[in-house]
Amino acid sequence: MGGQRRRWSWRFGRNAPPLLLAMLPVLLLSACADGAGASPSRTTRSWPASHDVVDVLLLKNYNTRLVVLSTAALGIAAGLVGAFLLLRKRSLMGDALAHSTLPGIAIAFVVMVSLGGDGKSLPGLVAGAAVAGVLGTLVMLAIRNTTLLRDDVAMGFVLSVFFGLGVALLGMIQAMPQASAAGLESFIYGKAASMVRQDFYLIAGVALCAALAAILLFKEFTLLCFDESFASTEGWPVLALDILLLGLVTAVTVIGLQSVGLILIIAFLITPPAAARFWTDRLSVMTALAAAFGAISGWFGASVSALFPRLPAGAIIVAVTSAIFLASMVFAPNRGILARHLRQRSLKLKVDRQHLLRAAFELLEAKSADSRQVANLPFSQAELLAKRTWTPPQLDRILRKETANGHLGRTGSGDLRLTEAGFGEAARITRNHRLWEIYLVTHADIAPSHVDRDADMIEHVLEAELVRQLETHLQDHSGWIPSPHRIPPSPESGSSPT
């Protein structure tokens, strides 16, 4: 029973989460559809004409072109630096940094107003945000390097305390008589749809810097990500590299904040690199893929938002990155959930099959008068069931599979009987198992009474080449091999063990 329950949870418990996760985009789509088509009375909600779609996707409209190119460039930059952050397990750094810019914005506003300027001038606010971001980064590094607290605490501290300070400062200057500070906090919530040429140049410039730095310092950053202590013993300036990397993150975050908003820049830094990680084990490919994913989601999301004015650009872009991530997580070859699941399933099938054949062969050995001359006799399902701890439904399923494979047949009286091919295969599998057992007993000092289970862990993946090596290694055992340990008798057969 226990085995069956475990099996049930294996079949459903492990598949349920990915299935539920896969429902997210459906929810998302229904939300979009609601916005796009629910009430036909509104003109803004009708589907756009096909030539509009083509115009937007091909960037024919000036405004759309600006927004789409800017978000795509930002996606590239964020994907590049985000890949390194992901490998350093600091993905949420962008989150912490983005929040920590708020006091800088407030102070920049106060300074600019008291100097008699326009409190909301963009370069001033960006500079203030950048200074606060750099300060936040330094505090994070200091906490990490001088206390026993870990990265997550350092990030959470900077995020909440800096943001709180910003809220307090904004609360004060809301009442400033000289200039209206209203809408200042919307700086960090972005305004993707109303970007101007200046924004594009700023973003493109930062994206270019990020790309250059990622290419020129690729080797150094790789070293920093994979083996920090080795880098420092080799004499690389680890702290300086760390600060440089975080500086790039700060630049991308600050530029992204005012153009596309807090949540989007966080998602841009985390999601495309995490999606790229599923497709490759090479950092160079992963960085390039992350940049490409960022660019695609920026382009596609901004286009969708241009076509449906009621859908906020930032949210749609985040949704696109999440969809890419989800697709990668499920469908990527090798590392994807589906591929891993199929691999495990086929291995499990193979193991089940081999267990069945070996159990059958050992049964026949016990039945035969001379254990060196094993005869292919019929045997009952009950005898087989007693050989291993499998449940009747489990055994039924494996039997069906093996019958379909042509290794097993039924006699007229309903008993089971191995076919010619099945008998050969069973003999081969049993022989491999025992070869490995004997190897373990003679060369790995494993007690004969324990060797069965240890052998079980590897025998299913023994390849022909390895078997030949084992044979030459254990020259005595070129023909039939007796089991090195006592095989427990099946209660039904009642015959003596080998």
Sign for the pseudo-dihedral over CA of 54, 58, 61, 63: positive
168 binds another protein (CB under 8 A): yes
Q: Which of residues 278-337 bind another protein (CB under 8 A)?
A: 278, 310-312, 314-316, 318-319, 322, 325, 329, 335, 337
Decide: is 170 part of the binding site for another protein (CB under 8 A). yes
Q: Report d(CA 322, CA 299) in Å as an integer.
A: 14
Any contact of residue 141 with another protein (CB under 8 A)? no
* Out of 10, 12, 24, 114, the residue judged to bind another protein by CB under 8 A: 24
Q: Residues in contact with another protein, total (CB under 8 A)? A: 74
Among 41, 43, 50, 146, which residue interacts with another protein (rule: CB under 8 A)? 146
111 contacts another protein (rule: CB under 8 A)? no
270 lies in the binding site for another protein (CB under 8 A) = yes
Question: Toward another protein, which CB reaches closer, 160 or 346?
Answer: 160
Quick one: which of 127, 135, 141, 185 contacts another protein (CB under 8 A)? 185
Smallest separation, CB 119 to another protein (Å): 15
- Comparing CA positions, the residue from 305, 300, 44 lying closest to residue 195 is 305
Q: For another protein, which is the closer residue by CB, 172 or 458?
A: 172
Nearby residues of 495 by Cβ (< 8 Å), 6 or more positions away: 366, 367, 489
366 vs 362: CA distance, rounded Å:
6
Instruction: Tell me whether residue 129 or residue 262 sits nearer to another protein (CB atom).
Output: 262
Is 495 exposed, middle or buried (CB count within 10 Å of its CB: 0-12, 13-18, 19+)?
Answer: middle
Does 266 engage in binding with another protein (CB under 8 A)?
yes
Residue 246 binds to another protein (criterion: CB under 8 A): no
User: Contacting another protein (CB under 8 A), which of 166, 190, 298, 422?
Assistant: 166
Please enumerate in sequence order all residues whose Cβ is within 8 A of that of 429, keeping only pairs 6 or more positions apart, or say none: 354, 357, 358, 361, 459
Footprint on residues 342-401 left by another protein (CB under 8 A): none
Q: Which is nearer to another protein, 171 or 237 (CB)?
A: 171
Count other C-beta atoms under 10 Å from residue 164's C-beta.
Answer: 13
Buried b (16+ CB within 10 A) or exposed e, 75-104: bbbbbbbbbbbbbbebbbbbbbbbbbbbbb
Contacts of 214 (CB under 8 A, 6+ apart): 80, 81, 84, 221, 248, 287
**Smallest gap from residue 136 Cβ to another protein (A):** 11
Residue 307's H or E segment, with its range, is: helix 283-307
Exactly one of 84, 163, 187, 299 binds another protein (CB under 8 A); which one? 163
CB of 165 to another protein, least distance (A): 4
Closest to 325 measured CA to CA, from 19, 15, 21, 5: 21
Q: Residue 389 contacts by C-beta under 8 Å, 6 or more apart in sequence?
A: 3
User: Using CA atoms, how far apart are residues 61 and 311, in angstroms rounded to an integer?
Assistant: 18
List binders of another protein among 31-70 (CB under 8 A): 31-32, 34-35, 38
Candidate ranges 1-9, 61-69, 167-175, 359-367; the one touching another protein (CB under 8 A)? 167-175
492 binds another protein (CB under 8 A): no
Contacts with another protein in 73-102 (CB under 8 A)? 86, 89-92, 94-95
